[in-house]
Structure 1
């Protein structure tokens, strides 16, 4: 009986040892199996200041005799899609009409925002935007010469009258609707263009004369409306980066919910 007990005890130790080894092997195999983690793809986007110049006004000063102008442009990225934007410049424009010759010169400032409607791929920073500007201009008008309109041409045309009258301290305010784009052509170097539709809010007119051209607003149509265009080259100065989730993962999580 004593030998049987020893025999049974020995068999129990062997079985216990086998079970322990099997558990260790199972645990090792489980640890070696790669676990697919539900990670969220992320990317880092740059935020900073972009500064540039309007090439259209700059080159126009060389090929158009009666025009001198310069415009500096800039924007600062506030959020993924919103940019604080603005332009500052000066213009000196002489308008020659059959019955009127005048010179307008002054400075202007525009401030507002742009909204980027374009969804960039990874590491792209291009912009297709719509925006709004508030513009203000301070300028002077010089009436160089004019002709008095004469409906009766029997005695010939009216003589041209040289004036030289200058009207100082004029100003105007307006709202611009802006649509444009910017594309990165080299590292941190962007080229872009924009179209603008302007509407005057207020203006100071000289006596017996009208503001037919306003710096920053351009030519006035029907006294209230104007259009504009610029072609820019600018340089982006990165200041910091922000991490955002990839759009594809966000959409996948919404579907699960």
Structure 2
């Protein structure tokens, strides 16, 4: 019995001695965890981030810093992606700055010719004006008409008639604040052509110088055909007073190309031009017109703004 107790006590003593030795060995090999000092922690993180990503580097990282680094990087990239989505500006195309508006053929009548008829009863003129919108500020324009002149007095008798046409382009200078506005302040140029015929059935020259017997000289000028060409510059304004209904005025300066005014017997009136004995003619017209909508055209939504000119600094 005593021998058994001795043997048991010896075994317990050996076991305790072995445990104590192993504890001393582990204590000598123990390394403390990463310091809680923020500056040292940042330095350690920067050192580990700069290392290449290998299995050895991952194993050497502290257990608590690896997941925190992964979470930090994921959050950073996610925020950058969200910022890119929210801060991205929409790209405007040319179609977004344009709007389709009705356009068509505008036909008008020059009512100022009736005023001319009041002051010059011997002539009858009919002028029809038309234009069609080609581009937002450009119009293809045309005028056409005819003239009939019949004059008689104690000096001569005159008869003439003819037709004319003028073709050109009008440019609108008015800046629209609304793309649906149709008012116009415009300038234009035309080429005009008239074909006419005229004659002087009788004329009388009252002069004793040209007659040996002191009698008056009488004669006639045969029927003559003439073609007249001219260039025309104009400036005018058109306002829409009702839907598609316009009223406007324009001033015209016409310059004759061929020399009809210098002939022996120039025509009294040239259709579409004016007085036949002048190489240049000033005229004013007053027109009422109506637009027939036929199609649509793309115009800018907003008026064009002049680009700010940057001051250039001279080089020294």
| Aligned counterpart, 2:99 | 44
Task: Pick the aligned partner of 1:110 from 159, 166, 174.
Answer: 166
Aligned to 1:225: 280
TM-score (norm 2): 0.59
Is 1:147 matched with 2:212? Answer: no
Considering fraction of residues, name the structure with more helix. 2
1:135 aligns with 2:196: no
The one-character-per-residue Cα deviations of 1:4-45 (angstroms, maximum 9, x if unpaired) are xxxxxxxxxxxxxxxxxxxxxx9xxx9xx9998686984535
**Matched positions, count:** 242
> For 1:180 and 1:97, how far apart are their aligned partners in 2?
37
Q: Relative to 1, partners in 2 of residues 1:188 and 1:94: Cα closer, same or farther, differing over 3 Å? A: same
Superposition deviation, residue 217 in structure 1: 0.6
Q: Which residue of 1 aligns with 2:296?
A: 240
> Comparing 34-43 with 114-123, which one deviates more in the overlay?
34-43
Q: With CA pairs under 8 Å and 6+ residues apart, which has the higher RCO, 1 or 2?
A: 1
- Quote the residue 1:15 is aligned against: none
1:227 to partner: Cα distance: 2.1
Query: Counterpart in 1 of 2:268?
Result: 212
- Tell me the CA shift for residue 184 of structure 1: 0.5
Q: Is 1:186 aligned to residue 242 of structure 2?
A: yes
Looking at structure 1, the residues matched to 108 and 204 of structure 2 have their Cα atoms a distance apart, in angstroms, of: 42
Cα separation, 1, equivalents of 2:262 and 2:232: 24
Structure 1 pair 57/45, CA: closer, same or farther in 2 (3 Å)? farther
Distance 2:263 2:133 in 1: 44
**Structure 1, unpaired ranges of 5+:** 1-25
Name the CA shift for 1:184/1:151 in 2 (closer, same or farther; >3 Å): farther
What is the distance in 1 between the residues matched to 2:128 and 2:116? Answer: 15
Tell me the CA shift for residue 93 of structure 1. Answer: 2.1
The Cα shift of 1:241 comes to 2.8
Matches within 5 A, 1:8-87: 42=97, 44=99, 46=101, 47-58=103-114, 60-61=116-117, 65-87=121-143
The structure that has the greater radius of gyration is: 2
Partner of 1:14: none
Distance 2:119 2:280 in 1: 26
Task: Report the 3-state secondary structure (helix = DSSP H, G, I; strand = E; otherwise coil) of the residue aligned with 2:113.
Answer: helix
How far apart in 1 are the matches of 2:215 and 2:236?
Answer: 46
User: By how many angstroms is 1:143 displaced?
Assistant: 1.2
- Tell me if structure 2 keeps the 8 A contact 1:212–1:220: yes
